[in-house]
C-alpha cells in the first residue's frame, strides 16, 4: 500500500510539472505571436459554432526588389559533442548594383541584420526594405538566419549566458562576419549590427564582445542586455526590464575587458510606445547601460526633439533624445507613438512590420554613416 501511495504521489507530481512546462511554452509562443495569428488559434464556443477567420495582413504598396545581387550562403557550424553531421547557418548577402567610387577604394560598408522570432532572413529583408535603402546609400547587407533546430521559433538566444560572454551564437556570428569580409570587399572600419527584438538583443551582445569589429549598433524593440539567463527570466525581462540589475551586466563587460581599450560604442535605440512584447522600460534601461558603457553620467541631460505626425514622412509622432559628445550623437533614443512590436516603416504585408513609420531602416543607415572604427 505504501508503495502504491508513493507511486500515486509521484505520478501527480510529474503531471503537475508537465502542466507547468506546457503553460510556460504557451506563454512563450503567445508573446511572440502577432495578433492575426492569435485570432486564428482561438476556438469558437461549443454552443454556438462559428467559423473563425484569421485577420489578413494589411495591404501594402508594391515595392520593387532592389536591383543588386542577393545571394544565399551556408556557414558550417562547429560540431557539438555526439554530433556526426555538420549543420550550416543559412544567410543572405546583398551587394548593390551601383558601385560608388568609395567602395572601389575601401570596400563596402556592411550592415548585419538580425531578425526577430518567427522570422526568416528573407522575410526580414523584405519587411525592413533594408536592401532598397542599401542600394541607395551604398551598403552591403548580411542577413544571418537562426536555425529552427537551435530554437523552435527561430529566436536568437540573447538570454544564453555563454553567448552574453562572447561564446555560443555570438562567436558564430563574429566568425560568419569574418568569413564574409574575407570573401568580399568589405570595409572593416564600417561594420554595423542591428536587429529587431531577439535579434536586437543578439546585436548588442555581438557589439559588446567585439567592439573592435562593430562600429555602431541599431536596436529596435530590444531587451535589456545581460540580465535574463533562461527562457523564463527572458520573458520576465521583456515585460519588466532589469529591475536594478542592468548596471551590473555592463560592469561585467568592462571587467572582462580590463586592460583593453574599449572604444566608444554608438547606439540607436528605437522603441514603440505601445509595444506589449518588449515593453518600453527596456529602452530606458538600455540607454542607462549604454551611457555607463561609454563613460557618461546616468543623469546626463539629452537634447530632445519632438516630431509631430507628418514630419519627415512619418504618420506617427515620435520623440528623439540625443546624447551628444562634441558634435556627434553617441546615443540616440527614438520613442514612436502608437507603434507596437513591429519594425517602424516596414512592409505591413509581413508580420512584425508597421507601415506608418518613421522609417527605421533609413534612420539606422543615417546614424551608421557618422561612425567608423
Q: Which residues sit opposite 141 in a β-bridge? A: 94, 111
Of 363, 364, 355, nearest in space to 127 by CA: 355
Residue 29: inside a domain, yes or no? Answer: no
Q: What is the mean pLDDT of residues 362-372?
A: 96
Task: Return d(Cα 197, Cα 343) in angstroms, integer.
Answer: 9
Helix (H, G, I), strand (E, B) or coil at 207: helix
Burial of 206 (0-12, 13-18, 19+ CB in 10 A): buried
- Range with lowest mean pLDDT among 74-88, 159-173, 231-245: 74-88
Q: What are the cell numbers at 327?
A: 558634435
Range of the domain at 306: 70-368
CATH number of residue 102's parent domain: 3.40.50.1820
Over the stretch 2-51, which tens digit does the pLDDT of each residue have?
555 555 564 565 445 444 444 444 444 455 545 444 444 444 444 444 44
Neighbours of 65 (CB within 10 A): 11
pLDDT at 266: 97
Q: What predicted TM-score, i.e. pTM, was given to this entire model?
A: 0.84
Is cis: bond before 358, omega within 30 of 0? yes
Over the stretch 234-268, which tens digit does the pLDDT of each residue have?
999 999 998 778 889 999 999 998 878 788 999 99
Residue 81: inside a domain, yes or no? Answer: yes
Residue 1: inside a domain, yes or no? Answer: no
Over the stretch 261-308, which tens digit does the pLDDT of each residue have?
788 999 999 999 999 999 999 999 999 999 999 999 988 999 999 999
Confidence of residue 204 (pLDDT cuts 50, 70, 90): very high
pLDDT at 356: 87
Q: Are 307 and 314 in contact (CB under 8 A)?
A: yes
Q: Are 182 and 225 in contact (CB under 8 A)?
A: no
Residue 7: inside a domain, yes or no? Answer: no
Q: What are the cell numbers at 365?
A: 543607415
pLDDT at 345: 96
Of 122, 90, 125, nearest in space to 111 by CA: 125
Residue 19: inside a domain, yes or no? Answer: no
**E strand segments, 77-175:** 88-95, 108-114, 140-144
Residue 167: inside a domain, yes or no? Answer: yes
Residue 307: inside a domain, yes or no? Answer: yes
Average pLDDT, the chain: 86
Q: Which residue has the cell 520576465?
A: 236
Of 368, 354, 357, 367, nearest in space to 35 by CA: 354
Query: According to the 3-state scheme, what is the secondary structure of 52-94?
Result: CCCCCCCCCCCCCCCCCEEEEEEEECCCCCCCCCCCEEEEEEE
Neighbours of 71 (CB within 10 A): 11
Residue 84: inside a domain, yes or no? Answer: yes
DSSP annotation of 312 reads G
Task: Please state the domain count of the chain.
Answer: 1
Amino acid at each position: 500500500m505504501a508503495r502504491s501511495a508513493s507511486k500515486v504521489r509521484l505520478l501527480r507530481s510529474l503531471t503537475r510539472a508537465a502542466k507547468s512546462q506546457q503553460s510556460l511554452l504557451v506563454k512563450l509562443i503567445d508573446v511572440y505571436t502577432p495578433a492575426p495569428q492569435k485570432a486564428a488559434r482561438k476556438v469558437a464556443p461549443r454552443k454556438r459554432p462559428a467559423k473563425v477567420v484569421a485577420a489578413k495582413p494589411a495591404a501594402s504598396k508594391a515595392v520593387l526588389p532592389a536591383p543588386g545581387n542577393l545571394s544565399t550562403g551556408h556557414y558550417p557550424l562547429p560540431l557539438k559533442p555526439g554530433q556526426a553531421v555538420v549543420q550550416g547557418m543559412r544567410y543572405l548577402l546583398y551587394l548593390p548594383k551601383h558601385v560608388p567610387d568609395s567602395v572601389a577604394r575601401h570596400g563596402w560598408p556592411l550592415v548585419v541584420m538580425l531578425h526577430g522570432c518567427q522570422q526568416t532572413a528573407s522575410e526580414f529583408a523584405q519587411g525592413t526594405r533594408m536592401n532598397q535603402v542599401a542600394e541607395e546609400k551604398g551598403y552591403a547587407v548580411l542577413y544571418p538566419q537562426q536555425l529552427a533546430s537551435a530554437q523552435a521559433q527561430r529566436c536568437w538566444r540573447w538570454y544564453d549566458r555563454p553567448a552574453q560572454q562572447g561564446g555560443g551564437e555570438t562567436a558564430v556570428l563574429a566568425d560568419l562576419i569574418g568569413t564574409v569580409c574575407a570573401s568580399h570587399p568589405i570595409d572593416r572600419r564600417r561594420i554595423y549590427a542591428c536587429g529587431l527584438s531577439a535579434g536586437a538583443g543578439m546585436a548588442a551582445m555581438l557589439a559588446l564582445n567585439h567592439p573592435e569589429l562593430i562600429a555602431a549598433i541599431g536596436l529596435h524593440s530590444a531587451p535589456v542586455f545581460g540580465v535574463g539567463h533562461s527562457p523564463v527570466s527572458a520573458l520576465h525581462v521583456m515585460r519588466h526590464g532589469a529591475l536594478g540589475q542592468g548596471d551590473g551586466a555592463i560592469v561585467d563587460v568592462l571587467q572582462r575587458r580590463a586592460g583593453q581599450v574599449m572604444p566608444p560604442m554608438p547606439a540607436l535605440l528605437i522603441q514603440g510606445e505601445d509595444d506589449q512584447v518588449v515593453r518600453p522600460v527596456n529602452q530606458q534601461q538600455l540607454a542607462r547601460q549604454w551611457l555607463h558603457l561609454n563613460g557618461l553620467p546616468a543623469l546626463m541631460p539629452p537634447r530632445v526633439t519632438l516630431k509631430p505626425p507628418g514630419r519627415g514622412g512619418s504618420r506617427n509622432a515620435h520623440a528623439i533624445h540625443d546624447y551628444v559628445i562634441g558634435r556627434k550623437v553617441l546615443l540616440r533614443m527614438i520613442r514612436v507613438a502608437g507603434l507596437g512590436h513591429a519594425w517602424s516603416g516596414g512592409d505591413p504585408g509581413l508580420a512584425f512590420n508597421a507601415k506608418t513609420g518613421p522609417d527605421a531602416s533609413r534612420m539606422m543607415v543615417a546614424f551608421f554613416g557618422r561612425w567608423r572604427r
